[in-house]
Chains A and B, each alone.
Chain A
Amino acid sequence: MLKNIDLDVYESDVLVLCGPSGAGKSTLLRCINMLEHYHEGTIDVLGKDIKSSRANLSYVRKNSGMVFQHFNLFPHISVMDNVALAPIHVKKIPKDQAYEKAKGLLDQVGLSAKYDAYPGQLSGGQKQRVAIARALAMDPKLMLFDEPTSALDPEMIKEVLDVMIKLALGGMTMIIVSHEMGFAREVANKIGFLDDGKIIELTPKNEFFTNPRSERTKEFLSKIL
């Protein structure tokens, strides 16, 4: 489904992938931590070829965070446990430290009042912010966002984007699949446009909006802007 993908992302890059549905944006993103298997080619993440060994893949998963369209929070445990679970069980961090950290992260995303709530008791925007905190708890070097605002009510999109903007300004390396072009304009330094499994255009942000190279991109932009 994906063809001829050649893509480099550097530290502190914020790459937004856009394009029509079915273009392969999410598939490409999900290949980066192998939630989706790919048949040919290599993907090096954080200096490791993820397909060459299980150890490499597990290193990449431990050191990257992912945020999903439908949050995928664990509904049977509290918000705090959601955030502290991976540090405790994957990184083997002592529990009290992990919970301290979880509190800090939840404060950071504006959810100080929800430590003991269950995911089912939160709004969509709150859920997504917990999901971001959960990913950040592993101290990722890279954050992957798979349409993080697509399942949200319009008035909740901003609270999630605000958290992501803060992250980007803090120097986090981020790859984001999103239709939020306003957001892309604000925080991205690179924008990739995909169609039909191919990267049609990959350019610095300013160029993308002001001077798109391909006809297909122009057409896309004229429809959504």
Chain B
Amino acid sequence: MLDMRLISQYLPEFFEALFETLKVAALSGVFALIIGTVVGIISTMKSKLAIIPVGIYTGFIRSTPLLVQLYFVHYGLPITGIMLTSFQSAIIAFSLNSGAYISEIVRGGLASMDKGQSEASRALGLSWFQTMRLIILPQVFKKILPPLISQFSYLIKDTSLAAVLVIPELTYTARKIAARTYMPFESFGVPMLMYFGIYLILALLSRFISGKKEPGRSARRWFGFGKVV
């Protein structure tokens, strides 16, 4: 019933598409992490001037569908004169979307930090920025690594929406191959297994990291933060 010949014939194309999926996810993930960290830090500040725009951003992103955000960036923004390729649109939409969720994770992580850590840093004469970079963020990232990884695995699944912008990622390619071969079971089954495979790897990674007892080591290994030596 399963047409193995067909699968093996199209496997290289699937892998190319998988690579495209990972490229979109990785790029968006990096930008989202930057956005999420900055926004997360801002959202812990006391000034209303800082909190209100941040609240509007996260609230708006989280209460609207990602697909509409994707359409809006790609088809809506050109009216304001911003012309984007589909790849650029996808990266922007995914980064902004994931960034909003990550900012909530970062905010939670920051809120859970013991105040004594920043007090000790200030008492030693470290600047606010040094305190964040050397003391607070390395500990926060270690703590929030598991939720960050699961956020990243949502992001990977979300990139399937990029198919509507004709980006040759996994879902778009699957649709194309299905249309070409009239074999939807295989055409969609293979990508499904591939998505699942990535998810599994991330889930194992998350478990491996959160199982680590040694303080700080893993956060430093993964993010390179907190290096003093």
Residues of A within 8 A of B (CB): 33, 35, 58, 61-62, 64-66, 68, 70-77, 81, 84-86, 88-90, 95, 118-120, 131, 134-135, 138, 144
In the complex, which residues of chain A have a beta carbon less than 8 angstroms from the beta carbon of B124?
61, 65-66, 85-86, 90, 134-135, 138
A74 to B113, alpha carbons, bound, how many Å?
A: 12
In the complex, which residues of chain B have a beta carbon less than 8 angstroms from the beta carbon of A75?
139, 215-216
Q: Which 5 A-B pairs have the closest CB atoms?
A: A76-B216, A72-B116, A72-B120, A62-B125, A66-B123
Q: A85-B228, A88-B228 are in contact. List 8 more A-B contacts (CB 8 A).
A: A35-B122, A61-B124, A76-B139, A76-B142, A84-B228, A86-B124, A90-B130, A131-B120
A86 to B131, alpha carbons, bound, how many Å?
A: 10
- Contact (Cβ within 8 A) B215 A89: no
Instruction: Name 30 interchain pairs, CB-CB below 8 A, sorted by A.
Output: A35-B119, A35-B123, A58-B125, A61-B122, A61-B123, A61-B125, A68-B116, A68-B119, A70-B116, A72-B116, A72-B117, A72-B120, A74-B135, A76-B215, A76-B219, A76-B226, A77-B228, A81-B228, A81-B229, A84-B228, A85-B134, A86-B125, A89-B228, A90-B126, A95-B229, A118-B214, A118-B215, A120-B215, A138-B125, A144-B123
Residues of B within 8 A of A (CB): 114, 116-117, 119-120, 122-126, 130, 134-135, 138-139, 142, 214-216, 219-220, 226, 228-229
CB B117 to nearest CB in A, in angstroms, measures: 6
User: Which A residue sits closest to B138, measured CB to CB?
Assistant: A76
In the complex, which residues of chain B have a beta carbon less than 8 angstroms from the beta carbon of A88?
228
CB B84 to nearest CB in A, in angstroms, measures: 40
A70 to B139, alpha carbons, bound, how many Å?
A: 18
User: Which A residue sits closest to B142, measured CB to CB?
Assistant: A76
- Contact (Cβ within 8 A) B125 A77: no
CB B136 to nearest CB in A, in angstroms, measures: 10
CB A88 to nearest CB in B, in angstroms, measures: 7
- Contact (Cβ within 8 A) A77 B226: yes
In the complex, which residues of chain A have a beta carbon less than 8 angstroms from the beta carbon of B130?
89-90
A65 to B124, alpha carbons, bound, how many Å?
A: 7
User: Which A residue sits closest to B213, measured CB to CB?
Assistant: A120
A137 to B2, alpha carbons, bound, how many Å?
A: 70
A76 to B212, alpha carbons, bound, how many Å?
A: 13
Residue of A70, A74, A134, A144 with most chain B CB atoms under a 10 A cut-off: A74
A133 to B135, alpha carbons, bound, how many Å?
A: 18
- Contact (Cβ within 8 A) A72 B119: yes
User: Which A residue sits closest to B117, measured CB to CB?
Assistant: A72
In the complex, which residues of chain A have a beta carbon less than 8 angstroms from the beta carbon of B123?
33, 35, 61, 64-66, 135, 144
User: Which A residue sits closest to B228, measured CB to CB?
Assistant: A81
A220 to B114, alpha carbons, bound, how many Å?
A: 33
In the complex, which residues of chain B have a beta carbon less than 8 angstroms from the beta carbon of A33?
122-123
- Contact (Cβ within 8 A) B126 A76: no
User: Which B residue sits closest to A89, measured CB to CB?
Assistant: B130
In the complex, which residues of chain A have a beta carbon less than 8 angstroms from the beta carbon of B117?
72, 74
CB A43 to nearest CB in B, in angstroms, measures: 15
A146 to B219, alpha carbons, bound, how many Å?
A: 31
In the complex, which residues of chain A have a beta carbon less than 8 angstroms from the beta carbon of B134?
85, 89
A134 to B116, alpha carbons, bound, how many Å?
A: 15
CB B47 to nearest CB in A, in angstroms, measures: 16
In the complex, which residues of chain B have a beta carbon less than 8 angstroms from the beta carbon of A144?
123
A77 to B205, alpha carbons, bound, how many Å?
A: 23
User: Which B residue sits closest to A144, measured CB to CB?
Assistant: B123
User: Which B residue sits closest to A86, measured CB to CB?
Assistant: B124
Residue of B117, B142, B219 with most chain A CB atoms under a 10 A cut-off: B117
A74 to B139, alpha carbons, bound, how many Å?
A: 9
In the complex, which residues of chain B have a beta carbon less than 8 angstroms from the beta carbon of A73?
120
User: Which A residue sits closest to B123, measured CB to CB?
Assistant: A66
In the complex, which residues of chain A have a beta carbon less than 8 angstroms from the beta carbon of B126?
86, 89-90
User: Which A residue sits closest to B216, measured CB to CB?
Assistant: A76
Residue of A71, A72, A90 with most chain B CB atoms under a 10 A cut-off: A72
Residue of B114, B215, B226 with most chain A CB atoms under a 10 A cut-off: B215
